[in-house]
Amino acid sequence: MRAMTPDNRQRHRLYGRSAGKPLSARAAGRVEDMLPAIAIPETAPGALAPAALFDTDPREVWLEIGFGGGEHLAGQAALHRDIGFLGAEPFLDGVAKVLADIEREGLTNVRLRRGDARLLVEQLAPRSIDRVFILFPDPWPKTRHRKRRLIQPEFLDALSRILKPGARLRFATDWADYANRALADVGRDGRFAWTAEAPGDWRNPPADHVPTRYQEKRLGDCAPVFLDFVFEETA
């Protein structure tokens, strides 16, 4: 019998299907040819040194959890070619889309993991990440499903292990209840300082934000909310 390790123990699923319609021949070819070369390898918990994944030593390493179609991930990577970017996404369609952007922009500073981002977070070395983006994750709006939301005290603990002191965390959602609960959970954690200075700060996209396709669809019950935090490790 297979042992219950951090990589295979029972978890609440954060997403539904991991693939939709069959990929086009060109998209499937990118997945087959490009992904193996930039895929983030599986390691033991805490053993993955992200800076070592890149051909040149990155100034910082940023992580995007659930990058969707990859618009934000590829856009930030194109703007900051001296930074190493890690992206985790379970959906094959999203992986295929961002591979097209990586090819078109000639990006060499992106590494990808197709799968549950929580496993990647567990495998990353302590104090190895300078910035994390969690943009418009599945809101699980039904009350009985809220335990499936990504932002939970347990996951904040996991993030706190991999973040460097002074690292930034950005969370965005277009569901009012999720915004309120995430702000409350992060506030209670005690290790993150909210950077807002005025009431309107969370209603306006940050100056360095790259819009996503999902964001522009406005599928939630409120206008997009952006919460930026600094990790202070004071708890």
Residues serving a catalytic function are 138
Alpha carbon distance 142, 117 (integer Å): 22
Q: What's the sign of the alpha-carbon dihedral 195, 197, 198, 201?
A: negative
Alpha carbon distance 34, 37 (integer Å): 6
Alpha carbon distance 47, 126 (integer Å): 9
Strand bridging mode 129-135 / 192-194: unpaired
